[in-house]
Structure 1
Amino acid sequence: MFKSVHDKPGKASDMTVFVNGAETAAWNGETVASVLLRAPGAERRSTVSGEPRLPYCQMGVCFECLVIVDGVASTQGCLVPVAPGMRIESQHGPREISK
């Protein structure tokens, strides 16, 4: 599922998504995680050390791509294809579990 926009240099984007409120170009077939790799300041912070974390494995194993997608927290960005107008937010800290 992971596709690089560099496979088609010069191709205009297919859609716009919003990463932390900023308009970001995206292409059909691209995942949320691949957009995060290009978006400045889109990293999340480790809940243990506070170090910045970015998508790593791109196949749903490492959980380094957890983000809030359209209001849903703890979404694995590497498993979600982008959609026009999608709102992606960096996740800070663990997901809150309602009681």
Structure 2
Amino acid sequence: MNKKIKALISASLLSLSLQTNANDRVDLADIYADVLLYRPIGLAMTIAGSVIFAAISPMLAIAELNPSNQAFADAKNGLVITPYDFTFNRPLGVLRPGPDEYQKR
């Protein structure tokens, strides 16, 4: 790969990582692993979870007939919202939620 392209990719990834707190240090290797491995896996999980959620939603609607049951909301959170948040709503290089929402892995 051309040196200019590598420098451009590195600069882009570093600028995207500025979403973290100023006190947090995120390694460049963590950012690369996040962009090249974890985000694509999270996107696949989001798509698969959405498909599964759509497939089981008629059964969830039947389960919702019981007023004490929150099957629809629980399934939505587990299958769609959680993978979506992991993929799109977290800073680069930060994998697990911590005391102040996200911490370095």
Same fold (TM over 0.5): no
TM-score (norm 1): 0.25
Q: Which structure is higher in helix share?
A: 2
Which of the two has higher C-alpha Rg? 2
TM-score (norm 2): 0.24
Q: Which structure is higher in strand share?
A: 1
